[in-house]
Amino acid sequence: MTTFLGMPAPRGVGHLRGDEPFPAAAHKALANDQLRRNLRHATTTIREKSGKVIAELPDWQELRAAGSAIKTDTMARLPELLEQLESGVVAAGGVVHWAADANEANQIVTDLVAATGSPRVIKIKSMATQEIGLNEALEAAGIQPVETDLAELIVQLGNDQPSHILVPAIHRNRTEIRDIFLREMPGVDPGLTDDPAVLAAAARRYLRETFLSTTVAVSGANFGIAETGTLAVVESEGNGRMCLTLPDTLITVMGIEKVLPTWRDLEVFLQLLPRASTGERMNPYTSMWTGVTPGDGPQNFHLVLLDNGRTNVLADEVGRSALHCIRCSACLNVCPVYERTGGHAYGSVYPGPIGAVLSPQLTGVEDNASLPYASSLCGACFDACPVRIDIPEILVHLRNQAPHPRTERAAMRAASYTMDHPRLYEAAQHAAKLARLGGPFVKGWTAARDLPAPPPESFRDWWAKR
Ligand code: SF4
Q: What is the pLDDT of residues 415-447, one digit of tens each?
A: 889 889 988 888 877 775 555 555 555 666 666
Give the percent of the chain with pLDDT over 70: 95
Write the DSSP symbol of residue 4: -
Lowest mean pLDDT among 176-185, 372-381, 431-440: 431-440
| 184 CB burial (10 A radius; 0-12, 13-18, 19+) | middle
Q: For position 429, what pLDDT does the model report?
A: 75
Q: Give 449 or 207, the one with higher predicted confidence.
A: 207
Res 101 pLDDT > 60: yes
Q: Are 81 and 261 in contact (CB under 8 A)?
A: yes
| Torsion, CA 177, CA 36, CA 123, CA 287, rounded to 10 | -110
Does residue 441 come out as left (phi exceeding 0), alpha (psi in the -120 to 50 range) or beta?
A: alpha
Residue 389 Cα, ligand 1 centroid: separation in angstroms?
7
Ligand 1 geometric centre to CA of 68 (Å): 11
pTM given for the model? 0.91
pLDDT at site 425:
85
At residue 430, φ and ψ (nearest 5 deg) are -60, -40
Confidence at residue 436, expressed as pLDDT on a 0 to 100 scale: 57
- Helix H or strand E encompassing 144: strand 144-147
Band (411; pLDDT cuts 50, 70, 90) = confident
> Cβ distance 276 to 222 under 8 Å?
no
Of all protein residues, whose CA lies closest to atom 7 belonging to ligand 1?
Answer: 325
Question: Which of 325, 335, 359 to probe ligand 1 with, by most ligand atoms within 8 A of CB?
Answer: 325
Residue 182: the pLDDT is 97
Give me the pLDDT at residue 53, please. Answer: 98
Q: How far is CA 327 from CA 24, 366, 436, in A?
A: 26, 24, 45
Which position has the higher pLDDT, 6 or 140? 140
Mean pLDDT, the chain, rounded, equals 93
Q: Which is nearest to 236 in space by CA: 314, 157, 166, 333?
A: 166
Phi and psi torsions of 254, nearest 5°? -125, 130
93 vs 262: CA distance, rounded Å: 20
57 CA to centre of ligand 1 in angstroms: 19
Residue nearest to atom 6 of ligand 1 (CA): 325
> Is 154 near ligand 1, meaning CB less than 6 Å away?
no
Among 257, 260, 251, 256, which Cα is nearest to 230's? Answer: 260
Q: Give the residue-averaged pLDDT of 60-76.
A: 98
Report how far ligand 1's centroid is from the alpha carbon of 462 (Å).
49
| 237-277 residue pLDDT tens | 999 999 999 999 999 999 999 999 999 999 999 999 999 99
Q: Is 389 in the pocket of ligand 1 (CB under 6 A)?
A: yes
- Provide φ and ψ at 216, rounded to 5°: -130, 135
Dist. CA 96–CA 85, nearest whole Å: 9
Percent of the chain beyond pLDDT 90?
A: 80
Query: How far apart (Å, rounded) are the C-alpha atoms in residues 168 and 81?
Result: 31
Whether residue 134 contacts residue 253, with contact meaning beta carbons closer than 8 Å, is answered with yes
Name the residue at shortest CA distance from atom 4 of ligand 1.
Answer: 331
Task: Say how many Å lie between the CA of residue 241 and the centre of ligand 1.
Answer: 24
pLDDT computed for residue 438 by the predictor: 54
- The CB of 127 under 6 Å from ligand 1? The reply is no
pLDDT tops 90 at residue 456: no
pLDDT band at 2 (very low <50, low <70, confident <90, very high): low
Q: What is the pLDDT of residues 104-123, one digit of tens each?
A: 999 999 999 999 999 999 99
Q: What is the pLDDT of residue 412?
A: 85
CB 109 within 8 A of CB 218: yes
Answer whether 127's CB lies under 8 Å from 165's CB. Answer: yes
Atom of ligand 1 nearest to the CA of 327: 5
CA distance 28 to 219: 33
Residues 6+ apart with CB under 8 A from 131: 9, 14, 15, 16, 102, 308, 349, 350, 362
Inform me whether the pLDDT recorded for 405 exceeds 80. Answer: no
CA distances from 463 to 36, 156, 428, 434 (A): 51, 67, 17, 20
The alpha carbon of 384 and the centre of ligand 1 are apart by a number of angstroms equal to: 8
Report residue 203's pLDDT band, with 50, 70 and 90 as the boundaries.
very high
Residue with the larger pLDDT of the pair 125 and 441: 125
Distance between terminal CA atoms of the chain?
Answer: 76
pLDDT tens for residues 30-43? 999 988 988 999 89
CA distance 245 to 230: 15
Mean pLDDT of 179-190: 95
386 lines ligand 1 (CB under 6 A): yes
CA-nearest residue for atom 8, ligand 1, is 328
pLDDT attached to residue 248: 98
Q: Is a pLDDT exceeding 50 seen at residue 1? A: no
